Amino acid sequence: MGSTNLNRPELYINRELSLLEFNRRVIAQASDETVPLLERLRFLCIASTNLDEFFEIRVSGIKQQIKYGSVQSGPDNLSATEVFNRVNQVAHELVQEQYRVLNDLITPALAKQKIRVLRRDDWIPSIDRWVKRYFNSNVLPVLSPIGLDPSHPFPRVLNKNLYFIISLEGKDAFGRETDLAIVQAPRSLPRVVPVTSEHTGGPNDFILLSSIIDAHVNDLFPGMKVTGCYQFKVTRDGDLFVDSEEVDDLLRALEGELPSRRFSDAVRLEVDDNCPEALSAFLLQKFDLHESDLYKVNGPVNLHRLDAILDLVNRPELVYPGFTPDIPPRLQKSENIFDTMRNGDILLYHPFQSFAPVVDFLKQAANDPNVLSIKQTLYRTGVDSAIVEALKDAARIGKEVTVVIELLARFDEETNIEMANDLQEVGAHVVYGIVGFKTHAKMCMVVRREGRTLRRYVHLGTGNYHSRTARIYTDYGLFTCDKDIGLDVNRLFLQLTGLGKAGKLKKLLQSPFTLLKRMLDLIDREARYALDKKPARIILKMNALVDPDLIRALYAASQAGVKIDLIIRGICCLRPGIKGVSENIHVRSIVGRFLEHSRVFYFYHGGDELLFCSSADWMPRNMHNRVETCFPIDEKRPRDQVMTYGLNNYLADNCQAWIMQGDGTYKRQKPGNSKPKSAQQIALEYFCE
């Protein structure tokens, strides 16, 4: 299939740099004047949050490799130091772009709509008076300034919290000459404070807590002179270390480890761009950081907190129009979801179709006297989850409820620990999956007595059982009572809760056992069809493509002549359009109103077309270190729906598509003289209107 060496480092893009490119596309949404104004602000806040997490997880990992002299490198053959230097350069560019977009584009556009974040220069006397009253009554009582001297060492600084470093002159009441102090912005106070129109004259005016503190910082140090007040924020390593081989109770180990995340190693320092170099250097030294870790910003260091404005401003014309998710007609007419499932599979396409049937499935199972047991995996659910409440109700009634909870769902550990405890208290069986393998599969199985037989009813999904994210992430969920799938899901639950060898599955594919091998076989099969001059086609939609074995297989298939379309939201380590290697591979990323999250795999397969949905991206961790599921879409109506609205419309999108270039950059596709086509908008109109 071609003699080219497919292991050459230049054929692979570094995953960290590819992830930063995704964030560049998110920032571009904030610059796009066709996007409603407040949504542009939301995209900018999302980009800020994304960068925080990038530093907490990815940059901290790179720094660990450098610290311990790791020589391990990925397919791109870049050392950890080389990766850090490139990441550092791009990250600084993105931060500068974030604040340029905020200051030059979004803030003026908001002001034209009479939505203002008032800076000190904008304050008129009535605002000054209001700020003083607010500071004295709401802020001052909860502030705890810490002067830095031998009896007050530099405080422990919380991860991602807003602080101020204050420079001072003079002596205090005890005769101490302290020239520096630290003030933490209280976490209990809102970062964006609305000011009524009687004081500002405007309908939607706000002042940042940082400005309020800065304006009255002198009141914290009576008799001394404040010579400077500067915001700063530290981002710390967000990974938790739990040695799974050394602990006998994962939940207790995690409970002990979680508090340390707030004070783990620092990886980034953000400061006001007017902060003197001497103070920046002092902070860098205190956090054991280098000049390259310093980010000077022209605006609030906690930029993502501006998303509070979206909840404080009631301007429907400045946000995406609301919509009512569709409920399939079969479910609308149905009083009993189990009866409906027996008449054929039901596919839900979130958020265009409602997540409510998934909740109803659990609620009906909890209350149905014929239901004997419920088994479910939970990765992220959110607080006050209706899914969890239904499981608790079922356990209280006396049904057999088994829940596999992934405690190591990053940043949701505390929520999941609390959920596990709540479920156990009402009598549910709770297990934490398999040590060393995250349980990332999304599946639920209900066993129901019908006459003399027991029937399994199954829900499989590409996304989490999370009602809120189901309104903003695109995902698929399949309801089926297919006998073979039910048997497969039962075997998977036996693996997760018990012991024994992996049994052979009839229809499902599973990581870490069969998914990778089957995908490689199917790619190779398409290549052989192409070599035999037969039609060959692959369409893959996912969040990330990183696994080198799968990338090499796609390269080989491209060399054989297979037409390959990849719809990759975020990380893509494959280079498209490389002569002799990937001319037949086209990669696009869709960035729009909803976060693309579904995973769909299509193979022409000699005319016997195969279509799968999956919980797994094509990354090494998903193939080797996680329990994942991949399920076929066999029935005609669901297949047609996925092909049209989940794949083909995305390939035709010319409004929200970014086309990947061979160097790893992306170019925005525009309609030009063609009719504008947005896959997400088409789905909204079809399902919701």
User: Which of the residue ranges 250-264, 501-515, 642-656 would you say has the lowest mean pLDDT?
Assistant: 250-264
Instruction: Give the list of residues 6+ apart from residue 43 with CB closer than 8 angstroms, or none.
Output: 26, 27, 29, 30, 35
Of the residues 474, 506, 538, the one at which a domain ends? 506
pLDDT at residue number 380: 84
pLDDT at residue number 667: 97
Beta strand 473-480 pairing with 453-461 = antiparallel
Q: Is residue 324 part of a domain?
A: no
Q: What is the pTM of this model?
A: 0.93
Shared domain check, 252 and 190: yes
CB 600 within 8 A of CB 613: yes
**What pLDDT digit, counting tens, does each position of 620-673 carry?**
999 999 999 999 999 999 999 999 999 999 999 999 999 999 999 999 999 989
Shared domain check, 534 and 499: no
The pLDDT confidence band at residue 241, using thresholds 50, 70 and 90, is very low
Sheet holding 204-208, edge to edge: 115-117, 204-208, 192-195
Q: Can you read off the two tokens belonging to residue 255?
A: 């409970």
pLDDT at residue number 381: 85
Q: Other CB atoms closer than 10 Å to residue 665's CB: what's the count?
A: 11
Shared domain check, 345 and 267: no
Rounded to whole angstroms, the Cα distance separating 19 from 94 reads 12
pLDDT at residue number 518: 98
The pLDDT confidence band at residue 259, using thresholds 50, 70 and 90, is low
Region of 148 please: left (phi>0), alpha (psi -120 to 50) or beta: beta
pLDDT mean over 66-71: 82
| Nearest C-alpha neighbor of 403 from the set 374, 383, 425 | 374
Shared domain check, 220 and 167: yes
Shared domain check, 405 and 471: yes
Rounded to whole angstroms, the Cα distance separating 480 from 498 reads 25
Rounded to whole angstroms, the Cα distance separating 74 from 80 reads 10
Shared domain check, 528 and 625: yes
pLDDT mean over 573-597: 97
Residue 497 above 50 pLDDT? yes
CB 75 within 8 A of CB 9: yes
Shared domain check, 453 and 431: yes
Rounded to whole angstroms, the Cα distance separating 575 from 13 reads 7
What total number of domains does the chain contain? 3
Angle (nearest 5°) at CA 290 between 47 and 573? 45
Shared domain check, 497 and 469: yes
Q: Can you read off the two tokens belonging to residue 410?
A: 């990053």
Residues serving a catalytic function are 440
Q: Can you read off the two tokens belonging to residue 452?
A: 């003399």
The pLDDT confidence band at residue 150, using thresholds 50, 70 and 90, is low
Average pLDDT, the chain: 92
The pLDDT confidence band at residue 243, using thresholds 50, 70 and 90, is very low
Rounded to whole angstroms, the Cα distance separating 128 from 674 reads 54
Q: What is the CATH number for 215?
A: 3.30.1840.10
Shared domain check, 481 and 391: yes
Rounded to whole angstroms, the Cα distance separating 407 from 377 reads 11
Q: Is residue 5 part of a domain?
A: no
Beta strand 180-184 pairing with 146-147 = antiparallel
DSSP per residue, 521-533: HHHHHHHHHHHTT
Q: Where are the alpha helices (DSSP H) in 35-124?
A: 37-53, 60-67, 80-100, 107-112
pLDDT mean over 17-45: 97
Q: Can you read off the two tokens belonging to residue 308?
A: 């509070």
Residue 342 above 90 pLDDT? yes
pLDDT mean over 130-139: 96
pLDDT mean over 252-266: 57
Q: Is residue 94 part of a domain?
A: yes
pLDDT at residue number 334: 85
Q: Which domain covers residue 589, as residue numbers?
A: 510-688
The pLDDT confidence band at residue 411, using thresholds 50, 70 and 90, is low
pLDDT mean over 538-564: 98
The fraction of the chain above a pLDDT of 70, given in percent, is 93
Q: What is the CATH number for 402?
A: 3.30.870.10
User: Which of the residue ranges 132-146, 302-316, 402-416, 473-487 would you say has the lowest mean pLDDT?
Assistant: 402-416
Q: Is residue 2 part of a domain?
A: no
pLDDT at residue number 247: 42
Of the residues 488, 506, 524, the one at which a domain ends? 506
Of the residues 506, 529, 558, the one at which a domain ends? 506
Shared domain check, 574 and 596: yes
Residue 500 above 80 pLDDT? no
Shared domain check, 304 and 268: yes
Rounded to whole angstroms, the Cα distance separating 196 from 309 reads 14
The pLDDT confidence band at residue 245, using thresholds 50, 70 and 90, is very low
The fraction of the chain above a pLDDT of 90, given in percent, is 80
